[in-house]
Amino acid sequence: MGAVIINFKAYKEGSGKSAVELAKIAEDVAGRCDDYIAVAVTALDLAEIAKEVSIDVYSQHVDPIEFGSHTGRINAEMIKEKGAKGSLVNHSERRLKLADIDFIVSKLKSLELTSIVCTNNVSTTAAAAALNPDYVAVEPPELIGTGVPVSKAEPEVVENSVKAAKSVNSKVKVLCGAGITCHEDYAAALDLGAEGVLLASGIVKAKDRKAALEELVGLR
């Protein structure tokens, strides 16, 4: 029983109507297990999905800005108004400058939104933990999207990330990601000390997305 955050990315299957469908599948499965299941969706889909489902909905990104003259940007206040629970920050595909991660984490906290800062190895996990986010999610970039699970291919990254993060900040929760697709990978992650997983293609691009998510949380 841990946290399962499904990142819809900019997948076709994670956008528009298909995104709403998947969010409803996640809501349904969440109601039948003890795990915390949440979704991270595009800015275009966020408002509708947050209305349609009762599970937590995260933004995939927010910009490090206040309200103002910032064409093409969105801030933490805006995602809160739309019903977001929080945001991913610094995903491997949307890396940010250190000072901007710090700004966003602080801003999210001040608005009582949840921050999930993504990192790529043990040392950046420790660094991110020092910024006092709610979660750090370590994902070795070379494994993202491969189906080779970090919890089996590089268990020491998960274990050492948990240790490093907690030694810097005892309150931070640690997730892991990259290559996670099935219950065995998820269980291995929890065994290594992670409090959950961040995953994407394994669920979003699965042929039977409901079955894939049920299997992940042990309902099959």
Interface ranges with its own copies (CB under 8 A): 7, 9-12, 15-17, 40, 42-48, 60-61, 63, 65, 67-75, 77-79, 81-82, 88, 90-102, 106, 119-121, 123-124, 126-132, 144-145, 164, 168, 200-201
Q: How far is the CB of 172 from its own copies (least distance, A)?
A: 12
Out of 48, 91, 154, 215, pick the active-site residue.
91
Q: How far is the CB of 210 from its own copies (least distance, A)?
A: 22
DSSP state of 218: T
Out of 139, 154, 214, 215, pick the active-site residue.
139
Q: How far is the CB of 215 from its own copies (least distance, A)?
A: 22
Q: Is 64 exposed, middle or buried (0-12, 13-18, 19+ CB in 10 A)?
A: buried
Q: Which is nearer to its own copies, 54 or 72 (CB)?
A: 72
DSSP state of 40: E
> Could you tell me if 50 and 75 are in contact, meaning their C-beta atoms sit under 8 angstroms apart?
no
CA–CA dist 167, 2 (Å, integer): 21
217 CB-near residues (< 8 Å, 6+ apart): 4, 29, 33, 35, 37, 183, 186
Query: How many Cα neighbours within 13 Å face the side chain of 34?
Result: 2
Q: Is 186 exposed, middle or buried (0-12, 13-18, 19+ CB in 10 A)?
A: buried
Q: Which is nearer to its own copies, 33 or 111 (CB)?
A: 111
Q: How far is the CB of 48 from its own copies (least distance, A)?
A: 6
List the Cα angle 131/117/161 in 5-degree steps.
85
Is 139 a known active-site residue?
Answer: yes
Q: How far is the CB of 102 from its own copies (least distance, A)?
A: 5
Q: Which is nearer to its own copies, 3 or 129 (CB)?
A: 129
The one-letter code for the residue type at 162 is V
Residues identified as active-site? 91, 139
